[in-house]
Amino acid sequence: MSGQQPAPSPGPRSASTGPNGPLATPTSAPLVNGVTPNTVSQAATSTTTGTSTGIPAGQMTQQNLNQIVIDYLAKKGYHRTEAVLRAESANQEVPKTDDSKPKVVQSTPKYAEAFARLQAWTEDALEMYKPEVERLLWPFFVYLYLALVETPGSSDRTQKFWQRFSENFRKEHDYDMKQLQSTTLPEHLEQDGEAKRYLTNKYRVNLSNPGHMYFMSFLESLDKDIFAIFIKVIQTNLDLRAVDRATDDRFSFASIILRGQEGEDLPPEDEGIPGHRPGNAIITDQANVGNTLANLKLGKLQMDKEVEEDVRGDLADLDLQVPPREGQPSLVETHEKLNIKQEDEDEGPSRVEIPFPASTARDVAMEVTKIRENRDRLKIEGRTGGVGPGISVCMYTFHNSSDSINCMDISGDLKLIATGMYDSYIRVWTLDGSALGTSDSGQPQASQRLIGHSGPVYSVKFAPAIGQYDENSPGAPVKWLLSGANDGTIILWSLATFQAMVKYKGHVGPVWDISWSPFGHYFLSGGLDKMGRIWTTDKMQPVRLLVGHDKDIEVVTYHPNAAYVFTASSDKTVRMWSVQTGSAVRMFTSHTSPITALACSNDGKVLASADDSGSIILWDLNSGRRMKQMRGHGKGGVWSLSWSAESNVLISGAADNTVRVWDVYGPPKEAAAAGAKPGEAGKAGEAGTSGPTILQGSAAGGTKKGKKDAVVTADQISAFPTKSTPVYYVKMTSMNLALAAGAFLPELQRK
């Protein structure tokens, strides 16, 4: 989904005064480029001297007159007519003196020839330099194209430039190109958001010292005219930096060559717009600002002392009732391993930093059940001998939905599933098919319909809950449901009465996504108005406003310790915010299309983000570096991500009708060579990405991708194709049971 509304097309101010409005011209006077000399002379009030050119009377030539007309049109705001007149005037022959030969004014600079020279040079570059110098092509393509757009009378050359070179960037920059392709006139440069973003910011490119010298030698070999074009772009639009290989492992020869061999098609995190240090939320062009990352507390939220005592007591009783098997840890030992700080790096936030309501018996029951499930879960180990763990997926499919389902969620106790509908309501079912309440006539109902929104519902989320471990344990059934919709409101629903309890207002425009805190009470929202909001269920106004994105926020999620939140936007960035201060502490940039899904690992150290092109990127939160990219899904968007309990396996569901299972740390050899573990990402050239496999005609799951080949990285363990069912939602339970849900849409597959 995309919250951006199309920009209104520019139109004339009025029939008589607009850029295309008629000018009254007497028929008795000859026209000069569509304007009578008498009319212009009177308007400019120039008889003895030109208004803006200072030309004495008696020396008025056609070129001088055109200049006066241009000045007049610019003063009155007739920019379109001014542009046409400038273009016509530029192509006229201008006599210098009586005895001089006619001279043609210099036409448009040789932008196409300049870019063709750069492209040919990168293709012939030495292999050790090619992966990094190829990163220069995109920014030069953009800025030379915008320079052509800005040049009056160059519409044909602009179109030819686009047609000649644009296809080279479709794979990596498809989203930006769709935005820029509509920018064809000079007046569009102020109206189009993407063009304005490029022109008002410098595009940052890092080259190694040898790579930088290699590029400089290329510039010195150019003709004067072509050289001037490149220098103007570099000085005006680029932040070109030389990086010492000794201080940044990403620029070692081995790393650069390895990325080229692996087909790495993502820009580095600190490349592009805005200019920031990898992971750092500070945006600046100053070299000495933003070099230090904010310290993070990624460990578990400290448990309340009273709750910890009650949990320990209940676990000790259970150990006495059902002693652990031989070789199996006791429940108390499992609790100490999970919830008691083990190492300094595991430091987590305190309860003082993030205030929560007083704990209840339900909170104790949830913690006890979590520990029991963690100990007795299906263990998922990493790859052994190149063979991934065998994971099965339980799939729920909705039929006869007529493509009216926007979103889905499954409750934590695995009892209910909810869908947000295009028709402005929410429907809730039981997963086992049992009746859910009764109708007014007393008949059992298969589902409940929740009505309260006045627009399509884009997000539904159940409050944290956990089911009964066995018939003797109390469990903590789900009690609440949140929904966000096109009407800009968020509604809290009671699942006991299936009635709306509270309506939260604050967003301007649709609410695209919402997320509960892992411990309830707080929730996060994002929408069209580009701001994230943190709420508490007992207040009508948000307690934090998260401001910084340039476009609407598409996806939001919480960190497992509830001290941080994540927002992902159509501006292709992910930001990490502190709940306590409301300030950004990390920013991640490498996606080349809008981000469609987020999920933080259960150990709180790695973030997974996915985009509309089908790519999944893993980020190390501590260092702020990208760990690797995983590919396999087709275009259309990865819509849901979920982590295993051990945080070593990730599952994804997407529009390409597949559920895919990924090994986070990759095949043993590649992972060991790259050292791509939390806290060490960014080293060894980020070589954690395993070599890609090209499957002819289809992805690993058999989903066709037209005539193009599907690139599947070796990180993929398995793929589960569905029958004409885009996968809206995936979930890994605390017992490592994989669930997925989607809607059967055969009519879309036939289109």
The pLDDT of residue 337 is above 80: yes
- What mean pLDDT is predicted for residues 363-379? 90
The pLDDT of residue 734 is above 80: yes
Interatomic CA distance for residues 177 and 96, integer angstroms: 44
The pLDDT of residue 546 is above 90: yes
The pLDDT of residue 379 is above 90: no
Tell the burial category of 106 from Cβ atoms under 10 Å away from its Cβ (0-12, 13-18, 19+).
Answer: exposed
Token pair of 512, please?
């695209």
Interatomic CA distance for residues 344 and 66, integer angstroms: 75
641-682: per-residue pLDDT in tens? 999 999 999 999 999 999 999 998 876 544 434 444 444 444
Residue 389 binned pLDDT confidence (cut-offs 50, 70, 90)? low
Token pair of 146, please?
């915008």
Residue 578 binned pLDDT confidence (cut-offs 50, 70, 90)? very high
The pLDDT of residue 345 is above 60: no
- What mean pLDDT is predicted for residues 95-103? 46
How many helices (DSSP H) and strands (DSSP E) are in the chain?
18, 33
Bridge partners for 609 per DSSP: 598, 617
- What mean pLDDT is predicted for residues 544-548? 93
- What mean pLDDT is predicted for residues 266-272? 58
Please choose, from the candidates 174, 726, 10, the residue with its C-alpha nearest in 3D space to the C-alpha of residue 397: 726
470 phi and psi angles, rounded to 5 deg: -150, 180
The pLDDT of residue 372 is above 60: yes
199-252: per-residue pLDDT in tens? 888 888 888 888 888 898 898 888 888 888 998 999 888 888 887 754 445 545
Residue 101 binned pLDDT confidence (cut-offs 50, 70, 90)? very low
- Which pLDDT does position 602 carry in this prediction? 94
Residue 747 binned pLDDT confidence (cut-offs 50, 70, 90)? confident
Residue 182 binned pLDDT confidence (cut-offs 50, 70, 90)? confident
111-246: CATH topology is 1.25.40
Rg from Cα positions in the chain = 31
CB 672 within 8 A of CB 644: no
121 vs 20: which has the higher pLDDT: 121
Interatomic CA distance for residues 351 and 743, integer angstroms: 41
Please choose, from the candidates 103, 64, 111, 67, the residue with its C-alpha nearest in 3D space to the C-alpha of residue 85: 67
Residue 42 binned pLDDT confidence (cut-offs 50, 70, 90)? very low
Distance from chain centroid for Cα 401: 29
15 vs 151: which has the higher pLDDT: 151
706-727: per-residue pLDDT in tens? 434 568 888 898 999 999 999 9
404-432: per-residue pLDDT in tens? 999 999 999 999 999 999 999 999 999 99
The pLDDT of residue 542 is above 70: yes
CB 633 within 8 A of CB 656: yes
582-639: per-residue pLDDT in tens? 999 999 988 888 899 999 999 999 999 999 989 999 999 988 888 999 999 988 889 9
- Which pLDDT does position 153 carry in this prediction? 78
Distance from chain centroid for Cα 586: 14
514-533: per-residue pLDDT in tens? 999 999 999 999 999 999 99
- Which pLDDT does position 710 carry in this prediction? 60
Please choose, from the candidates 459, 651, 655, the residue with its C-alpha nearest in 3D space to the C-alpha of residue 553: 459
113-170: per-residue pLDDT in tens? 999 999 999 998 888 888 888 889 988 999 998 988 888 878 888 888 998 998 888 7
451-482: per-residue pLDDT in tens? 999 999 999 999 999 988 887 777 789 999 99
Mean pLDDT of the chain: 78
b (16+ CB within 10 A) / e for 335-359? bbeebeeeeeeeebbeeebbebeeb
Residue 28 binned pLDDT confidence (cut-offs 50, 70, 90)? very low
The pLDDT of residue 3 is above 50: no
Interatomic CA distance for residues 124 and 675, integer angstroms: 32
pTM of the predicted model over 0.75: no
- Which pLDDT does position 81 carry in this prediction? 61
Residue 283 binned pLDDT confidence (cut-offs 50, 70, 90)? low
For residue 672, give Cα distances in angstroms to 259, 601, 607, 665, 686. Answer: 16, 21, 20, 9, 12
With a pLDDT cut of 90, the percent of the chain lying above it is 37
The pLDDT of residue 296 is above 60: yes
Please choose, from the candidates 507, 510, 496, 416, the residue with its C-alpha nearest in 3D space to the C-alpha of residue 729: 416
The pLDDT of residue 29 is above 70: no
- What mean pLDDT is predicted for residues 295-302? 88
CB 562 within 8 A of CB 518: yes
